[in-house]
Structure 1
Amino acid sequence: MPDAAARERAVAAVDARCRILLISSPKGGSGKSVLSRHLLVSAAQAGLKVIGLDFDRQQTLAKWAARRARTREAFPDFADTAVVPVSLQDWRGALRRTDSYQLAVLDTPPSVEDHLPAIDGLGEAADLILVPAVCTQDDVESVGPWVKALAGKGFTCSVVLNRANRRTTSYARMRGVLVKAGSVCPTELPQLEDIHVPSTKGLTLLDYSKSRGIEPFEEIWAYVRREVGL
């Protein structure tokens, strides 16, 4: 049997590996990049060495990070969040970029059906897959089958409801459909009118301590951190 020192080394090796968080949805406009950048900032503010990989050819997340880098030149107290534009065609090479980090947040394009082998490879590497979804019939019809497909492959995934309004009857109905499809994050993101305003400077709501709407992002980060073992 391995001695105590060997067990400690094994535990340390597991703790030292980079956790992979995959953000994936077949529906455009579901909030993948918004969720990705808030999780990147959450992790950086928590003192973790974090990297973002932007697999979307539009490079929304990478462009946001470039704006953030320019802002940090004048205000270096904002948490550092590196984002690298990468290709789904070289997803294995992209994953190798994460070796020296504690957490990698992977933002992917909505056209998952065009890149299934790559998405499957990333899914196998991921500790957790978050699937953002707006509470509409169109989103549910797209996201529900995707969540079932991910779960059927043995991947750990969870839906994050975005732009949710609990006061509407459609919210309860759509949430119920998604709960039947798979796991749903206990915290949803409400409709926030000013959520895109800070992004013009590469910032997020989390960069402003008195910003409205930061609590849901803090709670989702706590959920993610627990689920991936950080």
Structure 2
Amino acid sequence: MTDLRADLTGKRALVTGGGAGIGAAIALALADAGAEVVITGRRERPLKETAARSSRIAWRVMDVTDEAAVTESFVATAPIDIMVANAGVAETQPVAKTTLEFWRHVQATNVEGVMLCVREALKPMVERGWGRVIIVSSVAGLRGLRYGSAYCASKHAVLGLMKCAAEEVLKTGVTVNAICPGYVATGIVERNVENIVARTGMSEENALAALRDANPFGRMIEADEVAAAALWLCGPGSGAVTAQAIPVSGGQV
């Protein structure tokens, strides 16, 4: 029987937004499986803190909205076998109050930044005959959320990007998939709670409960649970899985 445990010894991974939350959890999981991991982000401090947790993790400051910086980073860290496009912003506004400036701000990171990283990752992977591209989307990419038009649109957009990229690299040994988490116990949820309190006057406890209850199984998702899905997509037995949006959402669809 095939050993289905992921052994990523000899593989090199790049994880954007890897300093905290889901990105940090994925980076640590990949490193624990033997991969050499480079994490990127805009803030040096969380990158250093996460890298200090594993001898297999290095860090690099990179803003995914800066095309030249993205290209330079992929050249400097090559070869990349696994690319996790996790960097994103989770800012919301009602449609009626959404300015074009706000809309473009969200799309710049959540869509254009993902596109740049996918673009830079794919060609070298195809040339080597193996690669894993994982986009961290959201259940917001599968449904609509009140006050979340810019965010939901961005997360829907990267699922379209994922499906197109996957089609383009069929039969090359490269897979492209997305993970769609529900509400995960990270700093982003903490900021969501603050926004709900400010917008509605709801207590912090009730705001957190509302987000928790949006996950049908009645608890917050842990970042390690999202990381486990990413690790599986990199391991043996996952080669037939491509062009898929995989919810990790406690039953939320």
User: Displacement of 1:221 after TM fit?
Assistant: 3.8
- RMSD (Å), alpha carbons: 4.4
Select the residue among 84, 107, 112 that pairs with 2:60.
Answer: 84
Give the distance between the partners of 1:101 and 1:189, measured in 2 at CA. 38
Larger RCO of the pair (alpha carbons < 8 Å, separation 6+):
1
User: Displacement of 1:34 after TM fit?
Assistant: 0.3
Give the distance between the partners of 1:35 and 1:214, measured in 2 at CA. 5
User: Displacement of 1:84 after TM fit?
Assistant: 0.6
Give the distance between the partners of 1:189 and 1:52, measured in 2 at CA. 32
- Over 3 Å counting, the alpha-carbon distance change for 1:84 and 1:120 in structure 2 is same
Q: TM-score, normalised by structure 1?
A: 0.51
Say if 2:39 and 2:58, in contact at 8 Å, map to a contact too: yes
- Over 3 Å counting, the alpha-carbon distance change for 1:216 and 1:82 in structure 2 is same
Select the residue among 206, 215, 222 that pairs with 1:171.
Answer: 215
Gaps of 5+ in 2: 1-8, 90-104, 122-132, 166-176, 186-208, 241-253
Gaps of 5+ in 1: 1-14, 24-30, 73-77, 173-187, 193-212
Q: TM-score, normalised by structure 2?
A: 0.47
Select the residue among 49, 52, 62 that pairs with 1:67.
Answer: 49
- Over 3 Å counting, the alpha-carbon distance change for 1:225 and 1:94 in structure 2 is same
Select the residue among 7, 12, 31 that pairs with 1:44.
Answer: 31
Give the distance between the partners of 2:19 and 2:12, measured in 1 at CA. 21
Matched residue type, 1:113 = Q
Select the residue among 124, 135, 141 that pairs with 1:129.
Answer: 135
- Show the 5 A alignment for 1:202-213: none
Count of paired positions: 162
Determine what percentage of the aligned residue pairs are the same residue. Answer: 10
Residue 158 of structure 1 pairs with residue 179 of structure 2: yes
Say if 1:50 and 1:82, in contact at 8 Å, map to a contact too: yes
Range with bigger deviation, 44-53 or 89-98: 89-98
Say if 1:20 and 1:128, in contact at 8 Å, map to a contact too: no
